Amino acid sequence: MTIIFFNPYADTQVKGAARRIEFLRDLLNGMEVASRAILKADYPAVSKGWAESLAWRGGLRRLAYFLQARRLCLQDGQVVISEVIFTPTWHSNMVLTVHDLKAFEPQATRGGMARKWAYLVFARLARRVVVVSESVRADMIRCCGVRPERIHVLPNGISQDRLALARQSLPLAIHYDFVYVSSFARHKRHALLLRAAPIGSRICLIGRELGALEEARQAAAERQGEVEVHFRHDVDTDEQLFELLGASRCGVFPSIFEGFGIPLLEYAAAGLHVIATDIPPFAELSQYVDRFVPADDEPALRSAMQALLTEAPDKNPESARRVAQGPYTESAIASKLAELLRLPRPPSGGASAPELTKARP
């Protein structure tokens, strides 16, 4: 069997989808299962049929990608795993993956009605759907009408290499009071965080621009002289990321909509105290969160930040231990991936994984 990760929209220079694919491919490699990825940079060179080539040259990108996914599904011995919704999801060799349902969230939506329609049709037709949290599973049932027995929860995880970097960051001296790792999108609420920040605090914001950077810069300018804000758009490696996390006391995540919340694991692995909004996906990671605050509640966020600033002068190595022994490590996720793809279970090298989510009455 060969596993094909197909996402021609994913840019290897941008973390997120590409990082998750890399993580899963590493797990498959450890189980001696062949895999390859077709990402944005790979797609132009792949073999194409005449109809796909015509669609690609004519600028009909979605149609071209659909035809390539179909071509891959028809090859014996291959399983195609893809986040691209406009694919032959009904094929037995196709696995649709869904990180979140932004198409149905007014404050975080992208793609408009066409994307929403695509989920209503193609997700419902899918034979197997993989989601990253119980929260997204519930959304798929409620919003798209997907049958529960077709949905499997395979959460994001943190690799052994990244855990090692997190451990190495624990002795670093603290420079920032708060760090926030997330793209600058409006639903991430960077401006809210800066308005809520306690006077005298030092804040590091790490992420790429997705439409809300100027708003965050304006909020920082309004707090000039009260808080110190550093914007970092040049963090390209895990080494750089964990150096900044290691130089921080507390990780914050005030977003109002997410599918999972990998920064919460990263914060905890680096021994940071953690503040997060009480949205459902974050509640699933409650063992790594010190304080929850209601979404869009500036006074509550300010109070939580001030409390940790006052009560938690040092890092929290215990949180790092919980991540290293928890259900989001390589071994735990590998067991769930093996079950999903009907592979032999890998030898356990760490925490045992909870059973793959099955149908509920």
One fold for 2-157+329-340 and 160-323: yes
- What residues does each domain of the chain span? 2-157+329-340, 160-323
Q: Can you give the pLDDT at residue 15?
A: 64
Binning the chain into helix, strand and coil, the percentages to the nearest 5 are 45, 15, 40
| DSSP letter, residue 209 | B
Lookup: tokens for 309: 């600033």
Q: Can you give the pLDDT at residue 312?
A: 80
The count of C-alpha atoms lying within 13 angstroms of the C-alpha of 188, restricted to the half-sphere facing its C-beta, is 22
Q: Can you give the pLDDT at residue 255?
A: 96
Return the HEC string of the chain.
CEEEEEECCCCCCCCCHHHHHHHHHHHHHHCCCEEEEEECCCHHHCCCCHHHHHHHHCCCHHHHHHHHHHHHHCCCCEEEEECCCCCCCCCCCEEEEECCCHHHCCCCCCCHHHHHHHHHHHHHHCCCEEECCHHHHHHHHHHHCCCHHHEEECCCCCCHHHHHHHHHHCCCCCCEEEEEECCECHHHCHHHHHHHCCCCCEEEEECCECCCHHHHHHHHHHCCCCCEEEEECCCCCHHHHHHHHHCEEEEEECCCCCCCCHHHHHHHHCCCEEEEECCHHHHCCHHHCCEEECCCCHHHHHHHHHHHHHHCCCCCHHHHHHHHCCCCCHHHHHHHHHHHCCCCCCCCCCCCCCCCCCCCC
Q: Can you give the pLDDT at residue 188?
A: 96
Lookup: tokens for 307: 């409390």
pTM of the model: 0.89
Per-residue confidence in pLDDT tens, the chain, 361 aa: 899 999 999 886 656 778 889 899 999 998 899 999 999 999 999 999 999 999 999 999 999 999 999 999 999 999 999 999 999 999 999 999 999 988 887 765 555 678 889 999 999 999 999 999 999 999 999 999 999 999 999 999 999 999 999 999 999 999 999 999 999 999 999 999 999 999 999 999 999 999 999 999 999 999 999 999 999 998 989 999 999 999 999 999 999 999 999 999 999 999 999 999 999 999 999 999 999 999 999 999 999 999 998 888 788 888 999 999 999 998 889 888 888 887 766 665 544 333 333 333 3
Choose among 353, 289, 349: nearest CA to 319. 289
Topology (CATH) of 2-157+329-340: Rossmann fold (3.40.50)
Give the CA angle between residues 241, 245, 246 to the nearest 5°.
115
Choose among 263, 262, 299, 300: nearest CA to 278. 300
- Burial string for 188-205 (b: 16+ CB within 10 Å, else e) reads bbbbbbbbbbbeebbbbb
Spell out the residues 6+ positions from residue 60 whose beta carbon is closer than 8 angstroms to its own.
Answer: none
Q: How far is C-alpha 293 from the chain's CA centre?
A: 21
Identity of the residue numbered 50: W
Rounded Cα distance between 293 and 277, Å, is: 5
Query: Which class in CATH covers the domain with range 160-323?
Result: alpha beta
Rounded Cα distance between 143 and 137, Å, is: 10
Choose among 72, 67, 68, 94: nearest CA to 83. 94
Write the CA distances from 83 to 13, 55, 60, 74, 244, integer angstroms: 18, 20, 19, 18, 30
Rounded Cα distance between 276 and 282, Å, is: 7
